[in-house]
Amino acid sequence: LVPAERFDFLRRELGDAFIAVELEGSDARPGAAMDPHSVLTEHLIDEPGQPTRDALDQVLELFRTKLLVPA
């Protein structure tokens, strides 16, 4: 869980370069060993339309557009 102050700091310091992906605890895969935290890995519900899958897709698209060199 990320304290609100941390996201506030990142928004203030990074401006539009900061992209927050905020999910509710109920969005995570139930039954994991710890409270929802790793929504892109351990708590991922890997099904279309699930908030955690949408968040993963958003992160992967950001990586594709910002990090991949066009062929």
Q: In the predicted model, is pLDDT for residue 32 greater than 90?
A: no
Q: Which residue range forms the structural domain that includes residue 57?
A: 24-71
Residue 52 CA: distances (Å) to CA of 28, 29, 55, 61: 7, 8, 5, 14
58: CB partners within 8 A, 6+ apart: 19, 21
Number of domains, the chain:
1
Residues 6 or more apart in contact with residue 31 via CB below 8 angstroms? none
Residue 42 has a pLDDT of 83
Q: How far is CA 22 from CA 39, 60, 70, in A?
A: 10, 16, 30
Domain contains 38: yes
Q: What percent of the chain has pLDDT over 90?
A: 42
Would you say residue 63 lies in a domain? Answer: yes
Q: pTM of the predicted model, to two decimals?
A: 0.71
**Span 8-34, mean pLDDT?**
84
More confident residue, 24 or 1: 24
When pLDDT is cut at 50, 70 and 90, the band that residue 71 belongs to is: confident
Dist. CA 15–CA 32, nearest whole Å: 34
Q: Is residue 36 part of a domain?
A: yes
